[in-house]
Amino acid sequence: MSRSDPEASLQDEAARAGWMYYVGGKTQDQIATELGVSRQRAQRLVSRAMTDGLVHVRLEHKIAACLVLEAELTRRFGLCEVRVAPSLGDGGDPTRAIAGVGAGLMEKYLRRTEPLIMALGTGRALRACADEMLPITAEQHRIVSLIGNIAPDGSASFYDVIIRISDRVRAPHFPMPVPVISDTAAERAMFQRLRPAQIVFDLAKAADVTFVGVGQMGDDAPLLLDGFVSAPDLAEMQALGATGEIAGWVFDAQGKYIETCLSDRLGSARLEPNRPAPVIGIAAGLRKVRALKAALEGHIINGLVTDEATAQALLI
Amino acid sequence: MSRSDPEASLQDEAARAGWMYYVGGKTQDQIATELGVSRQRAQRLVSRAMTDGLVHVRLEHKIAACLVLEAELTRRFGLCEVRVAPSLGDGGDPTRAIAGVGAGLMEKYLRRTEPLIMALGTGRALRACADEMLPITAEQHRIVSLIGNIAPDGSASFYDVIIRISDRVRAPHFPMPVPVISDTAAERAMFQRLRPAQIVFDLAKAADVTFVGVGQMGDDAPLLLDGFVSAPDLAEMQALGATGEIAGWVFDAQGKYIETCLSDRLGSARLEPNRPAPVIGIAAGLRKVRALKAALEGHIINGLVTDEATAQALLI
DNA sequence: TCATGTTCTGGGCATATGCTCAAACACCGA
DNA sequence: TCGGTGTTTGAGCATATGCCCAGAACATGA
């Protein structure tokens, strides 16, 4: 006990404080007294338990208004799987709202008894879902990434959701061993010919269920913010009618893929329209409405996890 | 929308308020403004969301001290499954502490892919666990009750955990169609000869995993508080060395079952010692230590869900 | 219709909480 | 040993929260 890892023991203390606060319903004063620390420290521990993701909160009630929206979306776009999370209102982060709901849906698939292949794209919302998942053992399934996991500097890509999910889900997982974006078309071709990459591509194509983020292509496009394209490149794409993007593959307002300067260097698998298996888009926020609508109408995705406000906007 | 169930729409509103508060991290003031109600009403809605069990909080971190206790208990009593929840400290209700942990363990078994039979006893702690379980579909399993579900007044017994669990777990479940306690030995014999009762008894005997509460036999015995035995009956049992009780079957300090005035009228299945499959006791509180120790040493149970303080006391 | 009991609402207040800021502290290289 | 640098700590304060209570709204039954 005398020389344990200070970081770990801090987490321990935070977990204990968070436990007493959230589960036990004690005040921070009481916790401070019982743990023998100052009230301020207790406050920091409780807050750390939350920010470190030690505490998970889920709501057990389907709000009627959300159920109505789910039914509407299913009918309107012919979807196979829809979840609408209640909006968090004006200041709320919509990603936050859908994370728990999306995590629950992913868990639902992972709890299936028959083995299945789950493919994962990228995006902040998808990452948030991964972080909200409860630990689960699902050895019978295989989890495969749609996007390359080699970042420009050679390290494992920060954007690869599969890395995050592998902490919580005990299942065989298959990162895509190619660069997110290659420098040249030739380099991509070289990587894609490699046998390991082929295996992962084939798995992705055969996925029984796919979860992807959906990016908008406005001036706040995730592709731009994350440095995958330059502002002039983005402007060029916009001129070509770029409306949305899934795993880096850009499509127009009808959900038809368009050729861009990325097309021949992108390491990710492209989701072809009208896949028979569920392809579930996870995205929320009014800025994403156009992109989502295009992906839905182009049948690139046939499932949706979003929030109330976005759902409403999609149905206008 | 104009004439919906007022109770349901209240829950809806509570759920929404709870969602914004716990997931969105908003203040009750903001929520009040957005929902167009007074701050006090928002406060009541949030608090209702919690008391109605709409909000579920779980902690994602194994505190080192608890892991140590789990290892110790496993070694000392030769157990197959142990969970130790952090104590909630002085004023905390130990049942509260173990409910989430126990629920997680039950879920773990229900997530198994191969079909299994889960048997359930009774007790407040077990009931609290059932209430904390997340909804799950587990059609492949069968859930069977160890205790009779016919209350003295003929209604379904309040003490039957299986009723509560069936709200959340979609799985075939088998209540035990006999009285909790029959008036006479003859009546019990009559019920037990019935074919439906036989089926359930056989299932219980074949259970792949069993969860039971463990009752103490002091003057605060659950059997007394719940009106199953009178104070004189209890005193008589105590004189015979009664130390603990599982599903109404009383055992002494060595964990050997003893004959009591209940023995020939009790409708529940008796768990015989040294079962090969997991039999997991769920109980916490220092008053239960003697009963738990007896059940463990008599090998009636071979698994345990308890809290830190109780675990420590067991190891003395 | 009105009296009556019950539930619900919002004001006010004591207390809990989160945040800021300056002091203390540990760590590290010279 | 010293001074710099970054992190942690505890005091104080503005604000949020929980709870009590009086009054309003509502349902009930004569």
Token pair for B181: 């306690």
Supply A288's token pair: 């994403």
Protein residue nearest nucleotide C18, by CA to C1'? A43
Residue among B115, B119, B133 at smallest CA distance from A113: B115
**What pLDDT is stored for residue A59 in this prediction?**
83
List helix spans (H) across chain B: 6-18, 28-35, 39-51, 64-77, 94-110, 124-132, 161-168, 185-193, 195-205, 222-225, 231-239, 289-297, 308-314
From residue B15, alpha-carbon distances to A67, B11, B39, B42 in Å are 13, 6, 16, 11
As a whole number of angstroms, the distance between CA A313 and CA B288 comes to 56
Q: What is the pLDDT of residue B152?
A: 64
Enter the DSSP assignment of A226.
T
Rounded average pLDDT over B176-190: 87
Give the C-alpha separation, B159 to B152, whole Å.
12
Best residue in A3, A22, A63 for a mutation probing chain B (most B CBs within 10 Å): A63
> Is the pLDDT reported for residue B253 higher than 90?
yes
Residue with tokens 């009546």, as numbered in its chain: B187
In this complex, the nucleotide whose C1' atom is nearest to the CA atom of residue A30 is: C16
How many CB atoms lie under 10 A from the CB of residue B269? 27
CATH topology assigned to domain B64-314:
Rossmann fold (3.40.50)
pLDDT score for A4: 41
pLDDT in tens, A200-214: 999 999 999 999 999
Q: Give the distance from residue B201's alpha carbon to the nearest chain A alpha carbon, in angstroms.
A: 28
Nearest residue in chain B measured CA to CA from A19: B59
Chain B residue numbers touching A171 (CB-CB < 8 A): none
Which of A54, A60, A89 has its CB closest to that of B61? A54
pLDDT in tens, B67-105: 889 989 998 999 999 999 988 777 678 888 898 889 989
How many residues are listed for chain A in this entry? 316
* Per-residue confidence (pLDDT) for residue A287, from 0 to 100: 93
Confidence (pLDDT) at A139: 85
Residue B116 has pLDDT above 80, yes or no: yes
| Chain A residues touching B65 at Cβ < 8 A | 12
B61-CA/D14-C1' distance, Å:
34
Which of the pair, B185 or B113, is modelled with greater confidence?
B185
C-beta atoms of A11 and B61 within 8 A: yes
Range ranked top by mean pLDDT from A166-180, B112-126, B148-162:
B112-126
A to B CB pairs, distance under 8 Å: 141
Cα A86 from Cα B17, distance rounded (Å)? 10
Look at residue B270 and tell me whether its pLDDT is greater than 80.
yes
Strand D bases, protein C-beta under 7 A: 9-12, 15-20
What confidence score (pLDDT) does residue B153 get? Answer: 60
Q: Which of A288-297, B3-12, B113-122 has the lowest mean pLDDT?
A: B3-12
Among B88, B96, B101, B137, the residue to mutate for chain A (most A Cβ within 10 A) = B88
**Two tokens, residue B47:** 């608090």
Q: What was the pLDDT predicted at A245?
A: 95
Strands of chain A, DSSP E? 55-59, 81-85, 117-120, 136-137, 142-150, 169-170, 173-179, 209-213, 215-216, 244-246, 249-251, 279-282, 303-307
Task: State the Cα–Cα distance between residues A122 and A159, nearest whole angstrom.
Answer: 6
* Helix, strand and coil in chain B, % to nearest 5: 45, 20, 35
Tell me the C-alpha to C-alpha distance, in Å, between residue B208 and each of A42, B96, B109, B116, B171: 43, 26, 10, 6, 15
Q: What percent of chain A shows pLDDT beyond 90?
A: 39
Among B24, B25, B89, whose Cβ lies nearest the Cβ of A34? B89
- What does the pLDDT look like over A286-313, one tens digit per residue? 999 999 999 999 999 999 999 999 999 9
Would you state the pLDDT for residue B157?
62
CATH 3.40.50.1360 domain position(s) in chain B? 64-314
Res B237: pLDDT: 94
Domain with CATH 1.10.10 in chain B: 6-51
The C1' atom of D15 and the CA atom of B28 lie apart, in whole Å, by 12
pLDDT at B2: 33
Reply yes or no on domain A64-315 having CATH 3.40.50.1360: yes
**Which of B49, B60, B96 is closest, CB to CB, to A54?**
B60
B105-113 mean pLDDT: 86
Tokens of A289: 């409405």
Q: What is the arithmetic mean of pLDDT over B214-230?
A: 89
pLDDT tens figures, A242-280: 999 999 999 999 999 999 988 889 989 999 999 999 999
Per-residue pLDDT tens digits for B152-164? 665 556 667 887 8
pLDDT tens profile A48-100: 888 888 888 888 888 878 888 998 999 899 999 999 998 877 767 888 889 88
Residues of A in contact with B137 (CB under 8 A): 111
What's the CA B51/C1' C9 distance, rounded, in angstroms? 20
CATH 1.10.287 fits A6-51, yes or no: no
Percent of chain B with pLDDT over 70: 94
Name the residue of chain A whose CA is nearest to B20's CA.
A88
pLDDT above 70 coverage of chain A, percent: 93
pLDDT-based confidence at A283, cuts 50/70/90?
very high
Under the banding of pLDDT at 50, 70 and 90, the label for residue A2 is: very low
Lowest mean pLDDT among A119-123, A218-222, B27-31: B27-31
- Report the footprint of strand D: residues with C-beta closer than 7 angstroms: A 37-38, 40-41, 44; B 21, 27-29, 39-40, 43, 46-47
B280 vs A267 pLDDT, higher one: B280
Query: Of the spans A56-60, A224-228, B54-58, B213-217, which averages the highest pLDDT?
Result: B213-217
Reply yes or no on whether the pLDDT at A3 is more than 80: no
**pLDDT band at residue A108, thresholds of 50, 70 and 90?**
confident
Average pLDDT over residues B197-205: 90
